């Protein structure tokens, strides 16, 4: 049995969970509403402020989906109550970030600035303190969407292994390589 799939998802006060037609899980809370289609083989029960997931057989596919949908539901509940936050930092001379609404303007050492549109479900903030690297802060209730957008921003200029320049997550460790050895 899936240890993750067997655990019930507790529903805090202020959050409503319903299973709509065609097996779609709908979670509403103070920070928004999220929807997730669930595979037709997985049964979802909402009772006594808990959500339970059951699988029909012990096939590998059913076992994998059992834990997956339970984890997704737990992330949705946390997203509509607390929300998620992802921070990126720009490391490099002349690297800058600014935003106007949900348009992110990035200067990453290319000939032109990159204008990146953030989905309306997310909130973006840019910060630049003196003596620190510019930061991009993404906030929202959908964990998957925040991770995808953060990865897309990071892919615009990945950290390179020699100087470490590029866009990286706050706290990310980049293994640096030794440069070319000096001539003898």
Same domain (yes/no): 137, 157: yes
* 176 half-sphere exposure, CB direction, 13 A CA radius: 8
Average pLDDT for the chain? 92
Same domain (yes/no): 105, 142: yes
Q: What are residue 54's DSSP bridge partners?
A: 43
Residue 21 domain boundaries: 3-81
Q: Which residue has the tokens 């076992």?
A: 63
Three-state SS for the chain is CCHHHHCCEECCCCCEEEEECCCEEEEEECCEEEEEECCCCCEEEEECCEEEEECCCCCHHHHHHHHHHHHHHHHHHHHHHCCEEEEEEEECCCCEEEEECCEEEEECCCCCCEEEECCCCCEEEEECCCCCCCEEEEEECCHHHHHHHHHHHHHCCCCCCCCCCEEEECCCCCCCCCCCCCCC
Q: What are residue 170's DSSP bridge partners?
A: none
Residues in the chain: 184
* pTM to 2 decimal places: 0.89
Same domain (yes/no): 28, 42: yes
Same domain (yes/no): 90, 75: no
Q: What are residue 29's DSSP bridge partners?
A: 32
Let me know if residue 105 belongs to a domain.
yes
**5-52 pLDDT, tens digit each:** 889 999 999 999 999 888 899 999 999 999 999 999 999 998 888 999
**79-89 pLDDT, tens digit each:** 999 999 999 99
Let me know if residue 74 belongs to a domain.
yes
* Res 1 pLDDT > 50: no
CA angle 8, 10, 14 (to 5 degrees): 155
pLDDT band at 184; cut points 50, 70, 90? low
Same domain (yes/no): 65, 98: no
* Separation between Cα atoms, residue 90 and residue 98, nearest integer Å: 12
* Number of independent structural domains in the chain: 2
Percent of the chain with pLDDT over 90: 81
**91-114 pLDDT, tens digit each:** 999 999 999 999 999 999 999 999
CA angle 142, 152, 161 (to 5 degrees): 130
Q: What are residue 97's DSSP bridge partners?
A: 106
């Amino acid at each position: 049995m899936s240890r993750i799939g067997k655990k019930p998802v507790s529903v805090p006060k202020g959050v409503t969970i319903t299973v709509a037609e065609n097996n779609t899980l709908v979670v509403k809370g103070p920070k928004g509403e999220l929807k997730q289609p669930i595979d037709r083989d997985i049964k979802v029960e909402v009772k006594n402020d808990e959500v339970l997931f059951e699988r029909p057989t012990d096939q590998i596919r059913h076992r994998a989906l059992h834990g997956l949908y339970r984890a997704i539901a737990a992330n949705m509940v946390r997203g509509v109550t607390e929300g998620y936050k992802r921070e990126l930092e720009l490391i490099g001379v002349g690297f800058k970030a600014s935003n106007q609404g949900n348009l992110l303007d990035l200067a990453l050492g290319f000939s032109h600035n990159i204008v990146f549109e953030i989905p309306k479900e997310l909130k973006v903030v840019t910060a630049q303190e003196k003596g620190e690297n510019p930061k991009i802060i993404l906030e929202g209730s959908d964990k998957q969407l925040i991770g995808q957008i953060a990865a897309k921003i990071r892919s615009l200029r990945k950290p390179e292994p020699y100087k470490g320049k590029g866009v990286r997550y706050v706290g990310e460790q980049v293994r640096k390589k030794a440069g070319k050895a000096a001539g003898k």
